[in-house]
Protein backbone atom coordinates (compact mmCIF):
# COMPACT_ATOMS: atom_id res chain seq x y z
CA UNK A 1 0.00 0.00 0.00
CA UNK A 2 1.66 3.28 -1.03
CA UNK A 3 2.08 5.86 1.69
CA UNK A 4 -0.14 8.86 1.10
CA UNK A 5 -3.29 6.83 0.47
CA UNK A 6 -3.56 6.18 4.21
CA UNK A 7 -5.44 9.41 4.82
CA UNK A 8 -8.23 8.40 2.43
CA UNK A 9 -8.55 4.89 3.80
CA UNK A 10 -11.36 5.66 6.22
CA UNK A 11 -13.57 7.23 3.60
CA UNK A 12 -13.12 4.71 0.83
CA UNK A 13 -12.31 1.43 2.58
CA UNK A 14 -15.87 0.16 2.14
CA UNK A 15 -15.91 0.87 -1.60
CA UNK A 16 -12.61 -0.86 -1.97
CA UNK A 17 -14.09 -4.31 -1.54
CA UNK A 18 -15.02 -4.02 -5.22
CA UNK A 19 -11.61 -2.82 -6.37
CA UNK A 20 -9.33 -5.14 -8.29
CA UNK A 21 -5.68 -4.31 -8.55
CA UNK A 22 -4.54 -4.64 -12.17
CA UNK A 23 -1.07 -3.13 -11.93
CA UNK A 24 0.69 -6.39 -12.74
CA UNK A 25 -1.25 -6.94 -15.97
CA UNK A 26 -1.86 -3.36 -17.16
CA UNK A 27 -0.57 -2.71 -20.69
CA UNK A 28 0.51 -6.31 -21.01
CA UNK A 29 -1.98 -7.79 -23.50
CA UNK A 30 -2.37 -11.53 -23.15
CA UNK A 31 -1.73 -11.55 -19.39
CA UNK A 32 -4.50 -13.00 -17.29
CA UNK A 33 -5.23 -13.32 -13.57
CA UNK A 34 -7.88 -15.29 -11.75
CA UNK A 35 -8.89 -14.58 -8.18
CA UNK A 36 -11.56 -15.69 -5.77
CA UNK A 37 -12.31 -13.57 -2.79
CA UNK A 38 -15.01 -13.01 -0.22
CA UNK A 39 -16.16 -9.95 1.70
CA UNK A 40 -19.11 -8.32 3.42
CA UNK A 41 -21.48 -6.26 1.25
CA UNK A 42 -21.13 -2.66 2.50
CA UNK A 43 -24.32 -1.30 0.98
CA UNK A 44 -27.49 -3.12 -0.05
CA UNK A 45 -28.33 -3.79 -3.69
CA UNK A 46 -31.90 -3.76 -4.98
CA UNK A 47 -34.84 -1.51 -4.23
CA UNK A 48 -37.89 -3.71 -4.71
CA UNK A 49 -39.17 -6.95 -3.13
CA UNK A 50 -35.77 -8.62 -3.47
CA UNK A 51 -32.40 -7.32 -2.35
CA UNK A 52 -28.90 -8.29 -1.33
CA UNK A 53 -28.75 -6.74 2.13
CA UNK A 54 -25.81 -4.86 3.57
CA UNK A 55 -23.79 -7.21 5.75
CA UNK A 56 -24.42 -10.21 3.52
CA UNK A 57 -21.43 -12.29 2.43
CA UNK A 58 -20.41 -12.03 -1.20
CA UNK A 59 -17.94 -14.19 -3.05
CA UNK A 60 -16.46 -13.18 -6.38
CA UNK A 61 -14.75 -15.37 -8.96
CA UNK A 62 -12.87 -12.80 -10.99
CA UNK A 63 -10.94 -13.32 -14.22
CA UNK A 64 -9.00 -10.29 -15.42
CA UNK A 65 -7.63 -10.34 -18.97
CA UNK A 66 -5.30 -7.70 -20.30
CA UNK A 67 -6.35 -6.67 -23.80
CA UNK A 68 -5.11 -3.83 -26.01
CA UNK A 69 -7.90 -1.43 -25.03
CA UNK A 70 -7.85 -2.17 -21.32
CA UNK A 71 -8.81 -4.87 -18.83
CA UNK A 72 -11.62 -7.31 -19.54
CA UNK A 73 -13.21 -8.53 -16.32
CA UNK A 74 -15.35 -11.69 -16.19
CA UNK A 75 -17.01 -12.02 -12.81
CA UNK A 76 -19.26 -14.57 -11.13
CA UNK A 77 -21.01 -13.24 -8.04
CA UNK A 78 -22.19 -15.64 -5.33
CA UNK A 79 -24.28 -14.23 -2.54
CA UNK A 80 -27.64 -14.52 -0.76
CA UNK A 81 -30.71 -12.51 -1.53
CA UNK A 82 -33.49 -11.62 0.86
CA UNK A 83 -36.93 -11.34 -0.67
CA UNK A 84 -40.58 -11.15 0.14
CA UNK A 85 -42.69 -13.82 -1.57
CA UNK A 86 -45.15 -12.13 -3.93
CA UNK A 87 -47.76 -14.83 -3.18
CA UNK A 88 -47.62 -15.58 0.56
CA UNK A 89 -45.71 -12.44 1.69
CA UNK A 90 -43.22 -14.52 3.67
CA UNK A 91 -39.70 -13.10 3.85
CA UNK A 92 -37.15 -15.68 2.78
CA UNK A 93 -33.47 -15.89 1.87
CA UNK A 94 -32.02 -17.92 -0.95
CA UNK A 95 -28.60 -18.31 -2.60
CA UNK A 96 -28.17 -16.03 -5.56
CA UNK A 97 -25.68 -16.06 -8.40
CA UNK A 98 -25.05 -13.79 -11.38
CA UNK A 99 -22.31 -13.41 -13.98
CA UNK A 100 -21.19 -10.38 -15.93
CA UNK A 101 -18.40 -9.27 -18.20
CA UNK A 102 -17.11 -5.73 -18.51
CA UNK A 103 -14.32 -3.96 -20.34
CA UNK A 104 -12.44 -1.33 -18.37
CA UNK A 105 -10.74 0.91 -20.93
CA UNK A 106 -7.45 2.77 -20.49
CA UNK A 107 -9.02 5.71 -22.30
CA UNK A 108 -12.81 5.47 -22.05
CA UNK A 109 -14.23 6.95 -25.24
CA UNK A 110 -17.88 7.08 -24.30
CA UNK A 111 -19.71 8.26 -21.21
CA UNK A 112 -20.99 4.79 -20.37
CA UNK A 113 -17.63 3.11 -20.67
CA UNK A 114 -15.74 2.17 -17.52
CA UNK A 115 -12.12 3.08 -17.10
CA UNK A 116 -8.98 1.77 -15.46
CA UNK A 117 -8.24 4.04 -12.49
CA UNK A 118 -4.51 4.07 -11.94
CA UNK A 119 -3.60 0.63 -10.63
CA UNK A 120 -7.14 -0.71 -10.21
CA UNK A 121 -10.57 -1.21 -11.73
CA UNK A 122 -13.76 -0.65 -9.73
CA UNK A 123 -16.13 -3.57 -10.23
CA UNK A 124 -18.87 -1.97 -8.15
CA UNK A 125 -20.97 -0.12 -10.81
CA UNK A 126 -21.26 -2.99 -13.33
CA UNK A 127 -21.59 -5.52 -10.50
CA UNK A 128 -24.44 -3.56 -8.94
CA UNK A 129 -26.17 -3.27 -12.34
CA UNK A 130 -25.84 -7.02 -12.94
CA UNK A 131 -27.15 -7.93 -9.49
CA UNK A 132 -30.10 -5.52 -9.59
CA UNK A 133 -31.10 -6.69 -13.07
CA UNK A 134 -30.93 -10.33 -12.03
CA UNK A 135 -32.91 -9.98 -8.79
CA UNK A 136 -36.43 -11.34 -9.36
CA UNK A 137 -39.07 -8.73 -9.97
CA UNK A 138 -41.78 -10.99 -8.53
CA UNK A 139 -40.00 -13.32 -6.11
CA UNK A 140 -41.69 -16.51 -4.90
CA UNK A 141 -40.52 -18.49 -1.87
CA UNK A 142 -40.86 -21.73 -3.89
CA UNK A 143 -42.16 -22.40 -7.42
CA UNK A 144 -45.35 -24.06 -6.15
CA UNK A 145 -46.12 -21.59 -3.37
CA UNK A 146 -49.94 -21.70 -3.21
CA UNK A 147 -50.23 -18.15 -1.93
CA UNK A 148 -52.80 -16.74 0.41
CA UNK A 149 -56.49 -17.47 0.37
CA UNK A 150 -58.18 -14.24 -0.75
CA UNK A 151 -61.04 -14.78 1.73
CA UNK A 152 -59.29 -15.86 4.93
CA UNK A 153 -55.82 -14.39 4.34
CA UNK A 154 -54.38 -17.73 5.49
CA UNK A 155 -51.86 -19.76 3.51
CA UNK A 156 -53.80 -21.99 1.12
CA UNK A 157 -53.53 -25.76 1.26
CA UNK A 158 -50.77 -26.94 -1.05
CA UNK A 159 -52.96 -29.35 -3.03
CA UNK A 160 -55.52 -26.65 -3.70
CA UNK A 161 -53.11 -24.84 -6.00
CA UNK A 162 -52.26 -26.07 -9.49
CA UNK A 163 -54.64 -29.03 -9.29
CA UNK A 164 -55.39 -28.79 -13.00
CA UNK A 165 -54.71 -31.94 -15.03
CA UNK A 166 -52.67 -29.96 -17.56
CA UNK A 167 -50.05 -29.13 -14.97
CA UNK A 168 -49.32 -32.58 -13.58
CA UNK A 169 -45.62 -33.00 -13.03
CA UNK A 170 -44.24 -36.18 -14.70
CA UNK A 171 -43.00 -37.27 -11.28
CA UNK A 172 -46.61 -37.33 -10.06
CA UNK A 173 -47.94 -39.18 -13.11
CA UNK A 174 -48.10 -42.48 -11.20
CA UNK A 175 -50.08 -40.83 -8.45
CA UNK A 176 -52.35 -39.22 -11.05
CA UNK A 177 -52.95 -42.68 -12.53
CA UNK A 178 -53.95 -43.90 -9.09
CA UNK A 179 -56.32 -40.97 -8.74
CA UNK A 180 -57.96 -41.61 -12.12
CA UNK A 181 -58.45 -45.32 -11.33
CA UNK A 182 -60.32 -44.25 -8.22
CA UNK A 183 -62.44 -41.97 -10.37
CA UNK A 184 -63.18 -44.88 -12.74
CA UNK A 185 -64.18 -47.07 -9.82
CA UNK A 186 -66.64 -44.49 -8.59
CA UNK A 187 -67.92 -44.03 -12.17
CA UNK A 188 -68.70 -47.78 -12.33
CA UNK A 189 -70.67 -47.52 -9.12
CA UNK A 190 -72.50 -44.52 -10.56
CA UNK A 191 -73.50 -46.60 -13.62
CA UNK A 192 -74.85 -49.37 -11.42
CA UNK A 193 -77.09 -47.08 -9.50
CA UNK A 194 -79.49 -46.16 -12.33
CA UNK A 195 -80.13 -49.93 -12.87
CA UNK A 196 -81.11 -50.42 -9.27
CA UNK A 197 -82.99 -47.16 -9.45
CA UNK A 198 -85.26 -48.46 -12.26
CA UNK A 199 -86.91 -50.97 -10.04
CA UNK A 200 -88.45 -48.42 -7.70
CA UNK A 201 -89.35 -46.40 -10.78
CA UNK A 202 -91.30 -49.29 -12.36
CA UNK A 203 -92.90 -50.03 -9.02
CA UNK A 204 -94.14 -46.48 -8.82
CA UNK A 205 -96.12 -46.87 -12.09
Rounded CA separation 171/159 (Å): 15
Q: Half-sphere exposure of residue 141, counting CA atoms within 13 Å on the CB side?
A: 14
Instruction: Give the distance from CA 203 to its chain's centroid.
Output: 70
Q: Does 127 bind Zn ion (CB under 5 A)?
A: no
**Stretch of 58-66, 74-82, 134-142, 166-174 lying at the interface with Zn ion (CB under 5 A):** 134-142
Q: Does 145 bind Zn ion (CB under 5 A)?
A: yes
Task: Tell me how far apart the 2 most distant CA atoms of the chain are, in Å.
Answer: 112
C-beta of 91 vs 175, nearer to Zn ion? 91
How far apart are CB 48 and Zn ion at their closest, in Å? 16
How far apart are CB 84 and Zn ion at their closest, in Å? 9
Q: Which of 88, 132, 134, 168 binds Zn ion (CB under 5 A)?
A: 88
Binding residues with Zn ion: total (CB under 5 A): 5
Handedness of CA 70, 19, 65, 57 (dihedral sign): negative
**Stretch of 7-15, 17-25, 77-85, 157-165 lying at the interface with Zn ion (CB under 5 A):** 77-85
**Stretch of 71-79, 139-147, 157-165, 196-204 lying at the interface with Zn ion (CB under 5 A):** 139-147
Per-residue x/- mask for Zn ion, residues 34 to 73, rule CB under 5 A? ----------------------------------------
Handedness of CA 163, 166, 167, 173 (dihedral sign): positive
Rounded CA separation 139/84 (Å): 7
Q: Does 83 bind Zn ion (CB under 5 A)?
A: no
Q: Which of 52, 73, 83, 85 binds Zn ion (CB under 5 A)?
A: 85
Pairing of strands 19-21, 120-122: antiparallel
70: left (phi over 0), alpha (psi -120 to 50) or beta: left
Which residues of the chain form contacts with Zn ion (CB under 5 A)? Answer: 85, 87-88, 141, 145
Amino acid sequence: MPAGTAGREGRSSQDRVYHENVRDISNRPGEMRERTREFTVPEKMGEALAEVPAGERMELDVRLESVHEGILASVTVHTTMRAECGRCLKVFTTPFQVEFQELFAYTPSEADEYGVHGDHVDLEPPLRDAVVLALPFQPVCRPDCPGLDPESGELREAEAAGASDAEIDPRWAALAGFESSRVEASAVRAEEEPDSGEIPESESK
